[in-house]
Amino acid sequence: MSSSFRPDRWILAWVLQTRSRMTGASSFPLPSRPVEERQVTIPTRYGEMSGLIYRSPDAIAALHSRSTPPLHIQLHGGGVIGRAIREDEHVSRFLASETGAIILAPHFHAAPQVSFPVAEHQCFDALKWALSAGSMGWNPDRITVGGGGTGAKLAINTAQLASEGRIRLSGLIATTPVTDVSLPTPGAGAGSVPPMSRGKNAGQPDSSTGSSPSAAGSTASAQSTEAPPSAQMSGFEPAAEDGVKGKMLEWREKKDDLFERLFDFAAESYVPDEDRMDPLASPAFDLSLVTKLPRTLIQVGAEDPIADQGRALASRLAKARKPHTLTEYPAGHVFTVHGKENIMEAAIVEQVRFIQSL
């Protein structure tokens, strides 16, 4: 694939970005406390960037001994061609209401206006700004970062850069993470497994830790962290007759093919060919990645074409005996934004519990 400028792809990326800006958040799950919102301006090396802050005064007041609330930086997905900052708003509001944390959602720039590594740098610059913005009222020693899809990749990137800059993060949430954009078809055969885990033992249990990628609806963890009860249920989907099952499989194959085409397009629109294996573009190529990550929650969808990327990341963390939790849900890509409400709620509640545990 050529990384040269193509007007047709620029126009299509612009159309997709415009559409993503009109994407609103889900109305579910509902926060139990009122949540306030304000807009902020964040300085970055590429100029100013806007952002949204969510806080729940009632939840903060309920923290008692932890009078200074933690900060969670929520990074939205969209293949780095979407700028739908409000796509994750329901997640941000729920986390603010249920944890007492202050949530920062940066409005980083994306293709086609910019290319790699602008978004990665801007997300890290947002973290550095947060560390210096003492008047905002959060605890700079208790910062977590998270997101879904490419938002999870950007969260991982932020942790990479933070470690290299000797900045300590408390935790990382990666929902259906993208860790390798070097592959043309992420859901096809062995190519779906990131490079650091390819081979005959890729995705197999690690005998030294007893941790392995989980089956649908279960959790694998270096700390034996339990999944929320709803994530362990096997009855999310009703049983189907053989004819219906065949149609469902055919539909899923078409859906996976569309996802792979969109995945390729997003990568081609934002990351030049020569940078596809850069450790920031594809964290799976970072040889020291696991040493840079804080305690990590990985949420994988069993029906996600790139589920193996999240599983492989968990496998690397397990082999390095790094604290992490891997939870697998019977869902597709970025199921905290799209999909069944009961699965969405279970996954977001798990994020709440993860932040509260830190």
C-alpha 112/C-alpha 103 separation (Å) is 27
DSSP 275: G
Helix (H) or strand (E) holding 174: strand 171-175
Helix (H) or strand (E) holding 270: helix 242-270
Q: Which residue has the tokens 């929902």?
A: 175
State residue 161 phi and psi, 5-degree precision: -70, -35
pLDDT digits (tens, 9 = 90+) for 142-160: 999 999 999 999 999 999 9
C-alpha 169/C-alpha 156 separation (Å) is 11
C-alpha 145/C-alpha 151 separation (Å) is 10
pLDDT digits (tens, 9 = 90+) for 332-342: 999 999 889 99
% of the chain with per-residue pLDDT over 90: 59
CB 350 within 8 A of CB 296: no
Sign of CA dihedral 192, 298, 228, 88: negative
Give the model's confidence band at 250: pLDDT under 50 very low, under 70 low, under 90 confident, else very high: low
Give the model's confidence band at 24: pLDDT under 50 very low, under 70 low, under 90 confident, else very high: low
CB 12 within 8 A of CB 279: no
Residue 255, pLDDT > 50, answer: yes
**Average pLDDT over the chain, rounded to whole?**
80
**By 3-state DSSP, what share of the chain in percent is helix, strand and coil, each rounded to 5?**
40, 15, 45
Helix (H) or strand (E) holding 261: helix 242-270
pLDDT digits (tens, 9 = 90+) for 206-226: 333 333 333 334 454 434 344
C-alpha 16/C-alpha 4 separation (Å) is 20
C-alpha 127/C-alpha 48 separation (Å) is 14
Sign of CA dihedral 166, 154, 341, 39: positive
Query: 146: helix, coil or strand?
Result: strand
CB 153 within 8 A of CB 76: no
Give the model's confidence band at 189: pLDDT under 50 very low, under 70 low, under 90 confident, else very high: very low
Model pLDDT, residue 214: 38
Residue 11 in tokens: 């126009």
CB 350 within 8 A of CB 217: no
Which class for 185: exposed (0-12), middle (13-18), buried (19 or more C-beta within 10 A)? middle
Give the model's confidence band at 198: pLDDT under 50 very low, under 70 low, under 90 confident, else very high: very low
pLDDT digits (tens, 9 = 90+) for 64-98: 765 799 999 999 988 787 677 788 999 999 999 99
DSSP 211: B
Residue type, 228: P
